[in-house]
Chains A and B, each alone.
Chain A
Protein backbone atom coordinates (compact mmCIF):
# COMPACT_ATOMS: atom_id res chain seq x y z
CA UNK A 1 0.00 0.00 0.00
CA UNK A 2 1.54 3.20 -1.16
CA UNK A 3 0.61 6.47 0.56
CA UNK A 4 2.05 9.77 -0.63
CA UNK A 5 1.86 11.29 2.87
CA UNK A 6 0.78 9.77 6.17
CA UNK A 7 -2.09 7.39 6.85
CA UNK A 8 -5.37 9.35 6.40
CA UNK A 9 -3.43 11.99 4.49
CA UNK A 10 -6.28 13.78 2.74
CA UNK A 11 -8.24 13.91 6.01
CA UNK A 12 -5.22 15.62 7.57
CA UNK A 13 -4.33 18.07 4.84
CA UNK A 14 -7.28 18.66 2.55
CA UNK A 15 -10.10 19.44 4.96
CA UNK A 16 -11.19 22.59 6.75
CA UNK A 17 -10.90 22.78 10.53
CA UNK A 18 -14.55 22.54 11.54
CA UNK A 19 -15.50 19.70 9.20
CA UNK A 20 -17.15 16.62 10.63
CA UNK A 21 -18.18 13.48 8.81
CA UNK A 22 -21.63 13.56 7.20
CA UNK A 23 -22.26 9.98 8.33
CA UNK A 24 -23.18 9.21 11.95
CA UNK A 25 -20.62 7.38 14.08
CA UNK A 26 -22.49 4.07 14.10
CA UNK A 27 -22.15 3.99 10.33
CA UNK A 28 -18.37 4.33 10.48
CA UNK A 29 -17.42 0.71 10.17
CA UNK A 30 -14.62 -1.08 8.39
CA UNK A 31 -13.94 -4.83 8.42
CA UNK A 32 -13.19 -5.73 12.05
CA UNK A 33 -13.19 -2.12 13.17
CA UNK A 34 -16.06 0.13 14.18
CA UNK A 35 -16.91 3.14 16.29
CA UNK A 36 -17.33 2.06 19.89
CA UNK A 37 -17.56 5.42 21.65
CA UNK A 38 -20.38 6.87 23.73
CA UNK A 39 -22.11 8.83 20.94
CA UNK A 40 -23.22 6.54 18.11
CA UNK A 41 -25.47 9.25 16.64
CA UNK A 42 -22.73 11.90 16.60
CA UNK A 43 -20.41 12.85 13.74
CA UNK A 44 -16.63 12.49 13.91
CA UNK A 45 -14.38 15.51 13.84
CA UNK A 46 -11.40 15.35 11.48
CA UNK A 47 -9.15 14.47 14.43
CA UNK A 48 -11.43 11.54 15.26
CA UNK A 49 -11.53 10.38 11.63
CA UNK A 50 -7.74 10.40 11.43
CA UNK A 51 -7.55 8.42 14.67
CA UNK A 52 -10.20 5.98 13.39
CA UNK A 53 -8.30 5.32 10.16
CA UNK A 54 -4.94 5.13 11.92
CA UNK A 55 -6.38 2.54 14.28
CA UNK A 56 -7.75 0.55 11.34
CA UNK A 57 -4.32 0.63 9.69
CA UNK A 58 -2.89 -0.78 12.91
CA UNK A 59 -5.49 -3.48 13.63
CA UNK A 60 -5.60 -4.62 10.01
CA UNK A 61 -1.82 -4.54 9.92
CA UNK A 62 -2.00 -2.91 6.52
CA UNK A 63 1.47 -2.86 4.92
CA UNK A 64 1.45 0.89 4.33
CA UNK A 65 4.52 2.56 2.87
CA UNK A 66 4.02 6.19 3.83
CA UNK A 67 5.77 9.14 2.20
CA UNK A 68 5.75 7.28 -1.11
CA UNK A 69 4.43 9.34 -3.97
CA UNK A 70 3.50 7.45 -7.12
CA UNK A 71 4.70 9.41 -10.14
CA UNK A 72 4.00 6.86 -12.87
CA UNK A 73 2.21 3.57 -13.50
CA UNK A 74 3.07 1.92 -16.79
CA UNK A 75 1.93 -1.33 -18.35
CA UNK A 76 4.52 -4.09 -18.86
CA UNK A 77 4.26 -7.53 -20.50
CA UNK A 78 3.12 -9.23 -17.31
CA UNK A 79 1.78 -6.42 -15.17
CA UNK A 80 2.73 -2.89 -14.21
CA UNK A 81 5.80 -0.86 -13.53
CA UNK A 82 5.30 1.68 -10.77
CA UNK A 83 7.66 4.59 -10.28
CA UNK A 84 7.56 6.22 -6.85
CA UNK A 85 9.46 8.91 -5.00
CA UNK A 86 11.14 6.01 -3.19
CA UNK A 87 12.06 3.78 -6.08
CA UNK A 88 10.63 1.41 -8.66
CA UNK A 89 8.18 -1.44 -8.13
CA UNK A 90 7.16 -4.22 -10.50
CA UNK A 91 3.78 -5.84 -9.85
CA UNK A 92 1.15 -7.97 -11.55
CA UNK A 93 -1.85 -5.97 -10.46
CA UNK A 94 -2.58 -2.43 -9.28
CA UNK A 95 -5.58 -1.19 -7.30
CA UNK A 96 -6.15 2.55 -7.67
CA UNK A 97 -7.60 3.88 -4.42
CA UNK A 98 -6.65 7.52 -4.79
CA UNK A 99 -10.23 8.76 -4.71
CA UNK A 100 -12.35 11.11 -6.77
CA UNK A 101 -11.49 14.36 -5.01
CA UNK A 102 -7.81 15.01 -5.73
CA UNK A 103 -8.26 18.51 -7.17
CA UNK A 104 -10.91 21.16 -6.64
CA UNK A 105 -12.69 22.06 -9.88
CA UNK A 106 -13.36 25.68 -10.71
CA UNK A 107 -15.06 27.26 -13.72
CA UNK A 108 -12.99 28.65 -16.58
CA UNK A 109 -13.92 32.26 -15.91
CA UNK A 110 -11.91 32.48 -12.66
CA UNK A 111 -9.27 34.37 -14.69
CA UNK A 112 -11.78 37.14 -15.36
CA UNK A 113 -12.29 37.80 -11.64
CA UNK A 114 -10.57 41.08 -10.62
CA UNK A 115 -7.31 40.58 -8.73
CA UNK A 116 -8.67 42.58 -5.78
CA UNK A 117 -10.89 39.60 -4.89
CA UNK A 118 -9.21 36.68 -3.08
CA UNK A 119 -10.14 33.28 -4.53
CA UNK A 120 -10.03 30.11 -2.43
CA UNK A 121 -10.88 26.48 -2.99
CA UNK A 122 -11.88 24.14 -0.16
CA UNK A 123 -8.25 22.89 -0.19
CA UNK A 124 -7.06 26.41 0.73
CA UNK A 125 -9.79 27.10 3.27
CA UNK A 126 -9.20 26.28 6.95
CA UNK A 127 -11.64 28.64 8.70
CA UNK A 128 -13.13 32.15 8.71
CA UNK A 129 -10.22 33.70 10.63
CA UNK A 130 -7.94 33.21 7.63
CA UNK A 131 -10.16 35.31 5.36
CA UNK A 132 -10.05 39.08 4.98
CA UNK A 133 -12.94 40.99 6.53
CA UNK A 134 -15.82 41.80 4.25
CA UNK A 135 -18.25 39.97 2.04
CA UNK A 136 -17.80 36.42 0.77
CA UNK A 137 -19.31 34.85 -2.32
CA UNK A 138 -19.55 31.09 -1.86
CA UNK A 139 -20.07 29.32 -5.17
CA UNK A 140 -21.83 25.96 -5.03
CA UNK A 141 -24.54 24.69 -2.68
CA UNK A 142 -23.60 21.09 -2.08
CA UNK A 143 -22.29 19.88 1.29
CA UNK A 144 -19.12 21.97 1.14
CA UNK A 145 -20.79 25.17 -0.04
CA UNK A 146 -23.63 25.18 2.47
CA UNK A 147 -21.28 24.35 5.35
CA UNK A 148 -18.79 27.08 4.48
CA UNK A 149 -21.57 29.63 3.82
CA UNK A 150 -23.05 28.91 7.26
CA UNK A 151 -19.68 29.14 9.01
CA UNK A 152 -18.69 32.36 7.23
CA UNK A 153 -22.06 33.93 8.01
CA UNK A 154 -21.63 33.02 11.69
CA UNK A 155 -18.26 34.80 11.61
CA UNK A 156 -20.17 38.02 10.98
CA UNK A 157 -19.47 38.39 7.26
CA UNK A 158 -22.07 39.16 4.61
CA UNK A 159 -22.40 35.95 2.58
CA UNK A 160 -23.85 35.42 -0.87
CA UNK A 161 -24.35 31.82 -1.98
CA UNK A 162 -24.51 30.99 -5.68
CA UNK A 163 -26.82 27.99 -6.10
CA UNK A 164 -26.98 25.59 -9.04
CA UNK A 165 -28.51 22.12 -9.05
CA UNK A 166 -28.24 20.56 -5.62
CA UNK A 167 -29.45 17.70 -3.45
CA UNK A 168 -31.62 18.79 -0.52
CA UNK A 169 -31.96 16.51 2.50
CA UNK A 170 -33.16 16.99 6.08
CA UNK A 171 -30.62 15.85 8.69
CA UNK A 172 -33.29 13.92 10.58
CA UNK A 173 -36.40 12.37 9.11
CA UNK A 174 -39.13 10.92 11.31
CA UNK A 175 -36.68 11.07 14.21
CA UNK A 176 -33.92 9.13 12.47
CA UNK A 177 -30.79 10.28 10.71
CA UNK A 178 -31.59 10.57 7.01
CA UNK A 179 -28.59 8.35 6.34
CA UNK A 180 -30.16 5.67 8.57
CA UNK A 181 -33.03 5.67 6.06
CA UNK A 182 -30.63 5.44 3.12
CA UNK A 183 -29.00 2.45 4.78
CA UNK A 184 -32.05 0.65 6.16
CA UNK A 185 -34.30 1.08 3.12
CA UNK A 186 -31.64 -0.31 0.83
CA UNK A 187 -30.97 2.83 -1.25
CA UNK A 188 -27.29 2.65 -0.42
CA UNK A 189 -27.04 -0.98 -1.39
CA UNK A 190 -28.43 -0.30 -4.85
CA UNK A 191 -25.91 -1.74 -7.28
CA UNK A 192 -24.29 0.14 -10.15
CA UNK A 193 -25.92 -2.22 -12.65
CA UNK A 194 -29.39 -1.53 -11.16
CA UNK A 195 -29.16 2.26 -11.22
CA UNK A 196 -31.23 3.86 -14.02
CA UNK A 197 -28.74 6.42 -15.20
CA UNK A 198 -25.30 5.45 -13.89
CA UNK A 199 -23.49 8.45 -15.39
CA UNK A 200 -25.86 10.79 -13.60
CA UNK A 201 -25.68 8.81 -10.35
CA UNK A 202 -21.87 9.03 -10.46
CA UNK A 203 -22.00 12.79 -10.97
CA UNK A 204 -24.56 13.42 -8.21
CA UNK A 205 -23.38 16.27 -5.98
CA UNK A 206 -23.00 15.63 -2.25
CA UNK A 207 -26.21 16.31 -0.31
CA UNK A 208 -26.78 19.48 1.71
CA UNK A 209 -25.83 17.92 5.03
CA UNK A 210 -23.65 18.86 7.96
CA UNK A 211 -22.58 16.82 10.96
CA UNK A 212 -23.11 18.83 14.15
CA UNK A 213 -23.77 17.87 17.76
CA UNK A 214 -27.24 19.45 17.38
CA UNK A 215 -28.01 17.17 14.40
CA UNK A 216 -29.54 20.15 12.61
CA UNK A 217 -30.64 20.47 8.99
CA UNK A 218 -28.61 22.81 6.78
CA UNK A 219 -30.76 23.47 3.73
CA UNK A 220 -31.23 26.73 1.84
CA UNK A 221 -34.17 27.79 4.02
CA UNK A 222 -31.96 27.48 7.12
CA UNK A 223 -29.18 29.47 5.43
CA UNK A 224 -31.56 32.17 4.17
CA UNK A 225 -33.01 32.52 7.69
CA UNK A 226 -29.51 33.34 8.99
CA UNK A 227 -29.18 36.07 6.38
CA UNK A 228 -27.24 34.29 3.63
CA UNK A 229 -28.29 35.80 0.29
CA UNK A 230 -29.12 33.25 -2.41
CA UNK A 231 -28.35 33.92 -6.06
CA UNK A 232 -28.51 31.71 -9.16
CA UNK A 233 -25.77 29.61 -10.68
CA UNK A 234 -22.77 31.73 -11.59
CA UNK A 235 -22.81 31.75 -15.38
CA UNK A 236 -20.17 34.24 -16.52
CA UNK A 237 -18.06 37.27 -15.75
CA UNK A 238 -18.63 40.31 -17.95
CA UNK A 239 -16.89 43.67 -17.43
CA UNK A 240 -15.90 42.73 -13.89
CA UNK A 241 -19.42 41.71 -13.01
CA UNK A 242 -20.51 38.23 -11.99
CA UNK A 243 -23.64 37.23 -13.88
CA UNK A 244 -25.92 34.71 -12.20
CA UNK A 245 -28.58 32.55 -13.81
CA UNK A 246 -32.19 33.65 -13.53
CA UNK A 247 -33.23 30.01 -13.17
CA UNK A 248 -32.93 29.85 -9.36
CA UNK A 249 -36.59 28.99 -8.84
CA UNK A 250 -36.29 25.87 -10.96
CA UNK A 251 -33.22 24.48 -9.19
CA UNK A 252 -35.21 24.88 -5.97
CA UNK A 253 -38.17 23.02 -7.52
CA UNK A 254 -36.00 20.21 -8.82
CA UNK A 255 -34.39 19.69 -5.41
CA UNK A 256 -37.67 19.97 -3.48
CA UNK A 257 -39.37 17.47 -5.79
CA UNK A 258 -36.47 15.01 -5.60
CA UNK A 259 -36.34 15.21 -1.82
CA UNK A 260 -40.06 14.61 -1.63
CA UNK A 261 -39.81 11.55 -3.86
CA UNK A 262 -37.02 10.16 -1.70
CA UNK A 263 -38.99 10.73 1.52
CA UNK A 264 -42.06 9.12 -0.12
CA UNK A 265 -39.93 6.08 -0.88
CA UNK A 266 -38.78 5.95 2.76
CA UNK A 267 -42.42 6.08 3.95
CA UNK A 268 -43.35 3.38 1.48
CA UNK A 269 -40.48 1.21 2.68
CA UNK A 270 -41.43 1.71 6.37
CA UNK A 271 -45.04 0.72 5.61
CA UNK A 272 -44.13 -2.30 3.52
CA UNK A 273 -41.59 -3.59 6.05
CA UNK A 274 -43.59 -3.02 9.23
CA UNK A 275 -41.15 -0.44 10.59
CA UNK A 276 -43.72 2.30 11.30
CA UNK A 277 -43.55 1.74 15.08
CA UNK A 278 -39.80 2.44 15.20
CA UNK A 279 -40.04 5.89 13.69
CA UNK A 280 -41.99 9.12 14.16
CA UNK A 281 -44.94 10.02 11.90
CA UNK A 282 -44.20 11.15 8.32
CA UNK A 283 -43.11 14.77 7.92
CA UNK A 284 -43.07 17.14 4.99
CA UNK A 285 -40.80 20.15 4.79
CA UNK A 286 -41.60 23.61 3.49
CA UNK A 287 -40.57 24.19 -0.13
CA UNK A 288 -37.39 26.20 -0.58
CA UNK A 289 -38.40 29.82 -0.23
CA UNK A 290 -37.81 31.81 -3.40
CA UNK A 291 -36.40 35.26 -2.72
CA UNK A 292 -38.62 38.14 -3.86
CA UNK A 293 -36.05 39.04 -6.45
CA UNK A 294 -32.69 37.32 -6.56
CA UNK A 295 -30.05 39.53 -8.09
CA UNK A 296 -28.48 38.27 -11.25
CA UNK A 297 -25.38 40.42 -11.24
CA UNK A 298 -22.75 41.53 -8.78
CA UNK A 299 -20.02 44.10 -9.36
CA UNK A 300 -16.84 42.29 -8.29
CA UNK A 301 -14.88 45.58 -8.27
CA UNK A 302 -17.22 47.35 -5.86
CA UNK A 303 -15.61 45.91 -2.73
CA UNK A 304 -18.86 44.26 -1.65
CA UNK A 305 -17.15 40.91 -2.04
CA UNK A 306 -13.59 40.46 -0.80
CA UNK A 307 -13.37 36.70 -1.13
CA UNK A 308 -14.74 33.99 -3.40
CA UNK A 309 -14.84 30.42 -2.11
CA UNK A 310 -15.20 27.93 -4.96
CA UNK A 311 -17.22 25.01 -3.62
CA UNK A 312 -17.76 23.78 -7.16
CA UNK A 313 -16.69 20.20 -6.73
CA UNK A 314 -13.63 18.04 -7.12
CA UNK A 315 -12.09 15.81 -9.73
CA UNK A 316 -9.69 12.92 -9.67
CA UNK A 317 -6.11 13.39 -10.84
CA UNK A 318 -4.69 10.60 -12.99
CA UNK A 319 -1.69 12.57 -14.23
CA UNK A 320 0.54 9.75 -12.97
CA UNK A 321 -1.37 6.97 -14.72
CA UNK A 322 0.38 6.21 -18.01
CA UNK A 323 -2.23 3.67 -19.09
CA UNK A 324 -4.88 4.78 -21.61
CA UNK A 325 -7.92 4.18 -19.37
CA UNK A 326 -9.04 7.76 -18.68
CA UNK A 327 -11.89 9.24 -20.74
CA UNK A 328 -12.09 12.71 -22.32
CA UNK A 329 -13.65 14.09 -19.13
CA UNK A 330 -10.76 12.83 -17.01
CA UNK A 331 -12.69 9.93 -15.47
CA UNK A 332 -11.42 6.39 -15.16
CA UNK A 333 -13.11 3.93 -17.51
CA UNK A 334 -14.12 0.96 -15.40
CA UNK A 335 -16.90 -1.55 -14.90
CA UNK A 336 -17.57 -1.94 -11.19
CA UNK A 337 -13.94 -1.17 -10.38
CA UNK A 338 -12.54 -3.49 -13.03
CA UNK A 339 -10.51 -1.17 -15.25
CA UNK A 340 -10.18 -1.81 -18.96
CA UNK A 341 -6.56 -3.03 -18.66
CA UNK A 342 -5.80 -6.50 -17.25
CA UNK A 343 -4.77 -6.41 -13.62
CA UNK A 344 -5.82 -2.79 -13.11
CA UNK A 345 -8.56 -2.09 -10.55
CA UNK A 346 -10.19 0.83 -8.77
CA UNK A 347 -11.89 1.32 -5.39
CA UNK A 348 -13.58 4.24 -3.65
CA UNK A 349 -15.06 6.02 -6.66
CA UNK A 350 -18.67 7.32 -6.80
CA UNK A 351 -21.17 4.44 -7.25
CA UNK A 352 -18.27 2.13 -8.10
CA UNK A 353 -20.45 -0.89 -7.34
CA UNK A 354 -23.09 0.55 -5.05
CA UNK A 355 -24.52 3.92 -4.09
CA UNK A 356 -22.56 3.68 -0.82
CA UNK A 357 -19.21 3.15 -2.58
CA UNK A 358 -17.63 6.44 -1.47
CA UNK A 359 -18.70 6.17 2.17
CA UNK A 360 -16.41 4.63 4.81
CA UNK A 361 -18.82 1.74 5.41
CA UNK A 362 -19.31 1.32 1.67
CA UNK A 363 -15.82 0.11 0.89
CA UNK A 364 -16.11 -3.38 2.42
CA UNK A 365 -18.54 -4.97 -0.05
CA UNK A 366 -16.87 -3.31 -3.03
CA UNK A 367 -13.40 -4.33 -1.90
CA UNK A 368 -14.45 -7.97 -1.44
CA UNK A 369 -15.83 -8.18 -4.97
CA UNK A 370 -13.02 -6.28 -6.65
CA UNK A 371 -10.32 -8.26 -4.84
CA UNK A 372 -12.16 -11.48 -5.62
CA UNK A 373 -11.95 -10.57 -9.32
CA UNK A 374 -8.31 -9.64 -8.91
CA UNK A 375 -7.30 -12.91 -7.26
CA UNK A 376 -9.19 -15.00 -9.82
CA UNK A 377 -7.57 -13.03 -12.60
CA UNK A 378 -4.09 -13.58 -11.13
CA UNK A 379 -4.77 -17.31 -10.68
CA UNK A 380 -5.76 -17.69 -14.34
CA UNK A 381 -2.79 -15.77 -15.63
CA UNK A 382 -0.30 -17.67 -13.48
Chain B
Protein backbone atom coordinates (compact mmCIF):
# COMPACT_ATOMS: atom_id res chain seq x y z
CA UNK B 1 0.00 0.00 0.00
CA UNK B 2 1.35 3.41 -0.94
CA UNK B 3 1.39 6.13 1.67
CA UNK B 4 -1.07 8.92 1.16
CA UNK B 5 0.57 12.30 1.47
CA UNK B 6 -1.25 15.53 0.81
CA UNK B 7 1.15 17.37 3.07
CA UNK B 8 -1.38 17.70 5.90
CA UNK B 9 -0.35 16.59 9.38
CA UNK B 10 -3.72 15.09 10.21
CA UNK B 11 -2.39 13.32 13.29
CA UNK B 12 -1.46 16.66 14.87
CA UNK B 13 -4.98 17.94 14.16
CA UNK B 14 -6.60 14.83 15.61
CA UNK B 15 -4.38 15.08 18.68
CA UNK B 16 -5.29 18.75 19.09
CA UNK B 17 -8.96 17.84 18.86
CA UNK B 18 -8.59 15.37 21.72
CA UNK B 19 -6.62 17.80 23.90
CA UNK B 20 -8.94 20.75 23.29
CA UNK B 21 -12.03 18.65 24.09
CA UNK B 22 -10.93 18.87 27.70
CA UNK B 23 -9.48 22.39 27.51
CA UNK B 24 -12.01 24.70 25.83
CA UNK B 25 -10.23 27.83 27.11
CA UNK B 26 -7.11 26.94 25.11
CA UNK B 27 -9.26 26.69 22.00
CA UNK B 28 -10.17 30.39 22.13
CA UNK B 29 -8.32 32.20 19.33
CA UNK B 30 -8.38 35.87 18.36
CA UNK B 31 -7.28 36.76 14.84
CA UNK B 32 -6.15 40.33 14.29
CA UNK B 33 -5.53 42.71 11.43
CA UNK B 34 -4.35 46.34 11.50
CA UNK B 35 -5.35 48.64 8.74
CA UNK B 36 -4.15 52.05 7.59
CA UNK B 37 -5.67 54.43 5.08
CA UNK B 38 -3.29 55.42 2.31
CA UNK B 39 -5.19 57.70 -0.01
CA UNK B 40 -8.49 57.70 -1.80
CA UNK B 41 -10.05 54.22 -1.37
CA UNK B 42 -6.63 52.63 -1.04
CA UNK B 43 -5.67 51.07 2.30
CA UNK B 44 -3.13 48.58 3.54
CA UNK B 45 -3.81 45.93 6.15
CA UNK B 46 -1.10 44.18 8.07
CA UNK B 47 -1.35 40.81 9.75
CA UNK B 48 1.22 39.14 11.93
CA UNK B 49 0.09 38.40 15.47
CA UNK B 50 -2.80 36.45 16.86
CA UNK B 51 -3.82 34.91 20.17
CA UNK B 52 -4.41 31.22 20.75
CA UNK B 53 -3.60 28.21 22.94
CA UNK B 54 -3.60 30.59 25.89
CA UNK B 55 -0.90 32.95 24.66
CA UNK B 56 0.22 35.44 22.05
CA UNK B 57 1.26 33.80 18.80
CA UNK B 58 2.93 35.11 15.70
CA UNK B 59 3.08 34.20 12.03
CA UNK B 60 6.62 33.60 10.73
CA UNK B 61 6.47 36.94 9.00
CA UNK B 62 4.24 39.93 8.59
CA UNK B 63 1.95 40.05 5.56
CA UNK B 64 0.69 43.28 4.06
CA UNK B 65 -2.52 43.30 2.03
CA UNK B 66 -3.38 46.14 -0.27
CA UNK B 67 -7.00 46.95 -0.86
CA UNK B 68 -8.23 49.41 -3.41
CA UNK B 69 -10.90 49.52 -6.06
CA UNK B 70 -10.65 49.10 -9.83
CA UNK B 71 -10.47 51.89 -12.36
CA UNK B 72 -14.10 51.37 -13.33
CA UNK B 73 -14.81 52.61 -9.79
CA UNK B 74 -12.73 55.69 -10.62
CA UNK B 75 -10.01 54.43 -8.29
CA UNK B 76 -6.30 53.73 -8.74
CA UNK B 77 -6.49 49.95 -8.52
CA UNK B 78 -3.45 49.52 -6.28
CA UNK B 79 -4.89 46.20 -5.12
CA UNK B 80 -7.97 44.02 -5.04
CA UNK B 81 -11.36 45.16 -3.80
CA UNK B 82 -12.10 44.37 -0.12
CA UNK B 83 -15.03 42.13 -1.03
CA UNK B 84 -12.69 40.08 -3.22
CA UNK B 85 -10.72 39.24 -0.07
CA UNK B 86 -13.80 37.29 1.04
CA UNK B 87 -13.37 35.12 -2.06
CA UNK B 88 -9.70 34.63 -1.18
CA UNK B 89 -10.69 33.56 2.34
CA UNK B 90 -13.42 31.20 1.15
CA UNK B 91 -11.25 29.52 -1.50
CA UNK B 92 -8.33 29.19 0.90
CA UNK B 93 -10.47 27.72 3.66
CA UNK B 94 -12.39 25.22 1.51
CA UNK B 95 -9.21 24.08 -0.24
CA UNK B 96 -7.45 23.52 3.08
CA UNK B 97 -10.48 21.56 4.18
CA UNK B 98 -10.45 19.37 1.07
CA UNK B 99 -6.77 18.54 1.60
CA UNK B 100 -7.24 17.78 5.31
CA UNK B 101 -10.32 15.64 4.85
CA UNK B 102 -8.68 13.79 1.95
CA UNK B 103 -5.62 13.07 4.09
CA UNK B 104 -7.82 11.83 6.93
CA UNK B 105 -9.80 9.62 4.55
CA UNK B 106 -6.71 8.23 2.84
CA UNK B 107 -7.36 9.90 -0.51
CA UNK B 108 -4.31 11.00 -2.52
CA UNK B 109 -4.89 14.34 -4.23
CA UNK B 110 -3.13 15.19 -7.49
CA UNK B 111 -4.68 18.59 -8.10
CA UNK B 112 -7.35 20.74 -6.49
CA UNK B 113 -8.47 23.81 -8.36
CA UNK B 114 -11.44 26.02 -7.81
CA UNK B 115 -13.09 29.11 -9.14
CA UNK B 116 -15.09 31.34 -6.86
CA UNK B 117 -17.67 33.78 -8.16
CA UNK B 118 -19.53 36.26 -6.02
CA UNK B 119 -22.47 38.02 -7.61
CA UNK B 120 -22.74 41.58 -6.45
CA UNK B 121 -25.29 44.25 -7.33
CA UNK B 122 -23.35 47.45 -6.70
CA UNK B 123 -26.47 49.58 -6.62
CA UNK B 124 -26.55 48.65 -2.93
CA UNK B 125 -23.22 50.23 -1.97
CA UNK B 126 -23.88 53.21 -4.25
CA UNK B 127 -27.16 53.86 -2.50
CA UNK B 128 -28.91 53.73 -5.88
CA UNK B 129 -31.63 51.34 -4.70
CA UNK B 130 -32.39 50.80 -1.02
CA UNK B 131 -33.88 47.35 -1.75
CA UNK B 132 -30.52 46.06 -2.95
CA UNK B 133 -28.17 44.71 -0.30
CA UNK B 134 -24.56 45.85 -0.02
CA UNK B 135 -22.96 42.43 0.03
CA UNK B 136 -22.92 39.47 -2.29
CA UNK B 137 -26.27 38.16 -3.48
CA UNK B 138 -24.77 34.72 -3.84
CA UNK B 139 -21.44 32.98 -4.16
CA UNK B 140 -20.62 29.99 -6.31
CA UNK B 141 -17.54 27.82 -5.84
CA UNK B 142 -16.64 25.23 -8.49
CA UNK B 143 -14.00 22.65 -7.65
CA UNK B 144 -12.04 20.60 -10.16
CA UNK B 145 -10.30 17.80 -8.30
CA UNK B 146 -8.02 15.09 -9.59
CA UNK B 147 -7.61 12.37 -6.98
CA UNK B 148 -7.53 8.62 -6.46
CA UNK B 149 -11.19 8.48 -5.56
CA UNK B 150 -14.66 8.03 -7.04
CA UNK B 151 -16.77 11.02 -8.03
CA UNK B 152 -18.92 10.40 -4.96
CA UNK B 153 -15.95 10.31 -2.61
CA UNK B 154 -14.75 13.59 -4.08
CA UNK B 155 -18.19 15.13 -3.63
CA UNK B 156 -18.13 13.92 -0.04
CA UNK B 157 -14.73 15.59 0.49
CA UNK B 158 -16.08 18.89 -0.73
CA UNK B 159 -19.23 18.55 1.39
CA UNK B 160 -17.26 17.73 4.53
CA UNK B 161 -14.88 20.61 3.82
CA UNK B 162 -17.85 23.02 3.83
CA UNK B 163 -19.20 21.44 6.99
CA UNK B 164 -15.97 22.23 8.84
CA UNK B 165 -15.07 25.53 7.18
CA UNK B 166 -14.66 28.69 9.27
CA UNK B 167 -15.09 31.02 6.31
CA UNK B 168 -18.05 29.11 4.85
CA UNK B 169 -19.74 29.44 8.24
CA UNK B 170 -18.80 33.10 8.58
CA UNK B 171 -20.30 33.86 5.16
CA UNK B 172 -23.45 31.73 5.42
CA UNK B 173 -24.39 32.59 9.00
CA UNK B 174 -24.78 35.98 10.65
CA UNK B 175 -22.02 37.23 12.94
CA UNK B 176 -22.23 40.06 15.45
CA UNK B 177 -19.92 42.82 14.31
CA UNK B 178 -19.04 45.75 16.57
CA UNK B 179 -17.37 48.78 15.02
CA UNK B 180 -16.22 51.49 17.43
CA UNK B 181 -14.23 54.67 17.37
CA UNK B 182 -11.33 54.41 19.80
- Interface set of A (CB-CB < 8 Å, partner B): 165, 232-233, 235-236, 238, 243, 245-247, 250, 253-254, 257, 260-261, 293
Contacts of B143 in A (CB 8 A): none
Contacts of A232 in B (CB 8 A): 172
- Chain B nearest CB from A144 CB (Å) reads 23
A293 close to B172 (CB less than 8 A): no
Docked pose: A246 CA to B133 CA in angstroms: 15
Q: Can you sample 17 A-B contacts with CB below 8 Å?
A: A232-B172, A236-B173, A245-B172, A245-B173, A246-B173, A247-B168, A247-B173, A250-B159, A250-B163, A253-B158, A253-B159, A254-B159, A254-B163, A257-B155, A257-B159, A260-B152, A261-B156
B162 in the interface, Cβ–Cβ < 8 Å? Answer: yes
B71 in the interface, Cβ–Cβ < 8 Å? Answer: no
- Interface set of B (CB-CB < 8 Å, partner A): 138, 152, 155-156, 158-160, 162-163, 168-169, 171-174
- Identify the interface centre among B163, B169, B173: most chain A CB within 10 Å of its CB: B173
Contact of A257 among B138, B152, B172, B173 (CB under 8 A): B152
Contacts of B152 in A (CB 8 A): 257, 260-261
- Looking across the interface, which residue of chain B has its beta carbon closest to that of A199? B21
Contacts of B159 in A (CB 8 A): 250, 253-254, 257
A246 close to B163 (CB less than 8 A): no
Provide the main secondary structure of the chain A interface. Answer: mixed
- Identify the interface centre among B159, B160, B169: most chain A CB within 10 Å of its CB: B159
Contacts of B160 in A (CB 8 A): 254
Docked pose: A148 CA to B168 CA in angstroms: 30
- Contact A236/B174 with A250-B162, A293-B138 known, Cβ cut-off 8 Å: yes
Add 16 more A-B contacts to A247-B162, A247-B168, A261-B152 (CB < 8 A): A233-B173, A243-B174, A246-B138, A246-B171, A246-B172, A247-B169, A247-B173, A250-B162, A250-B163, A253-B155, A253-B158, A253-B159, A254-B160, A257-B152, A257-B156, A257-B159
- Looking across the interface, which residue of chain A has its beta carbon closest to that of B136? A246
Docked pose: A261 CA to B168 CA in angstroms: 25
Docked pose: A376 CA to B23 CA in angstroms: 37
- Chain A nearest CB from B148 CB (Å) reads 18
Contacts of A261 in B (CB 8 A): 152, 156
Docked pose: A246 CA to B162 CA in angstroms: 12
Contacts of B138 in A (CB 8 A): 246, 293
Contacts of A254 in B (CB 8 A): 159-160, 163
Contacts of B155 in A (CB 8 A): 253, 257
- Chain A nearest CB from B163 CB (Å) reads 6
- Identify the interface centre among A238, A253, A260: most chain B CB within 10 Å of its CB: A253
Contacts of A233 in B (CB 8 A): 173
Contacts of A245 in B (CB 8 A): 172-173
- Chain A nearest CB from B169 CB (Å) reads 8
Docked pose: A243 CA to B158 CA in angstroms: 25
- Looking across the interface, which residue of chain B has its beta carbon closest to that of A247? B172
Docked pose: A250 CA to B155 CA in angstroms: 10
A235 close to B173 (CB less than 8 A): yes
- Chain A nearest CB from B39 CB (Å) reads 35
Contacts of A235 in B (CB 8 A): 173-174
- Looking across the interface, which residue of chain A has its beta carbon closest to that of B161? A250
The 7 closest A-B pairs by CB, nearest first: A246-B172, A247-B172, A235-B173, A250-B162, A253-B159, A243-B174, A236-B174
Contacts of A247 in B (CB 8 A): 162, 168-169, 172-173
Docked pose: A235 CA to B175 CA in angstroms: 9
- Looking across the interface, which residue of chain B has its beta carbon closest to that of A254? B159
Docked pose: A232 CA to B152 CA in angstroms: 24
Contact of A238 among B156, B171, B172, B174 (CB under 8 A): B174
Docked pose: A246 CA to B168 CA in angstroms: 9
